[in-house]
A and B are shown apart, each in its own frame.
Chain A
């Protein structure tokens, strides 16, 4: 299989997965418990992403670096909660990364 054909097949599969519950089996035909569960998809996905990303980021650093990164993410959470500002929360994460990579090396 050529790389181009592989990419086209992958694109077709991705597209089909996206239209599956929109066109093929519309979600309004799903059972009520399933539709109820879908409203909790966002916090679940985001929390799983945060946990995995943070675990990966801290896995190759010393305890001090890991503590700085966890602290930066906690600070981002507090900032986002208090101010609602995504930019400030991202700045907290960037600060943590820069401290670990530039000051603690």
Chain B
């Protein structure tokens, strides 16, 4: 789905780029790119390689650092809350329109419900419900 959402950025790119560059598609690259709708052509190619390569190095380096330094730190089982705060910081600026809020509310609630039944599907199901809520809210707003 991220590929589908990013397709406009890849549409007019050379074939080699369209075949190779999607390997970098993931949460962070998707979220960073959708904030830059004007990036196209060579500018997007430069941005994408720098973003993806930097993320690759930082990600891998962070894993190595964590495995090296982790044993020296006190037990911090809830440090994952830092990641949750990061997602929140990425989410809140996107809650601009009513469909955006409906998407977030629907996704969060659905994810919690599905989490109790089938945890491995919670994020996927939450996302799907959020998108449906947003589309319905948008349709209702246009009809009124």
Contact = CB atoms under 8 A, between A and B. Distances in A.
A89 to B, nearest CB: 4
Interface residues of B, number: 69
A21 B3 contact: yes
Interface residues of A, number: 61
A38 interface: yes
A41 B132 CA distance: 10
Contacts, number: 228
B72 interface: no
A100 B78 contact: yes
A79 B93 CA distance: 11
A62 interface: no
Given A48-B123, A52-B126, A22 B10 contact: yes
15 contacts: A15-B23, A18-B23, A22-B10, A34-B4, A37-B135, A48-B108, A50-B88, A51-B111, A53-B83, A55-B112, A72-B81, A80-B91, A86-B90, A101-B78, A102-B76
Interface of A: 15, 17-23, 26-28, 30, 33-34, 36-57, 60-61, 65, 69, 72-73, 76-77, 79-81, 84-86, 89-90, 92-94, 96-98, 100-102
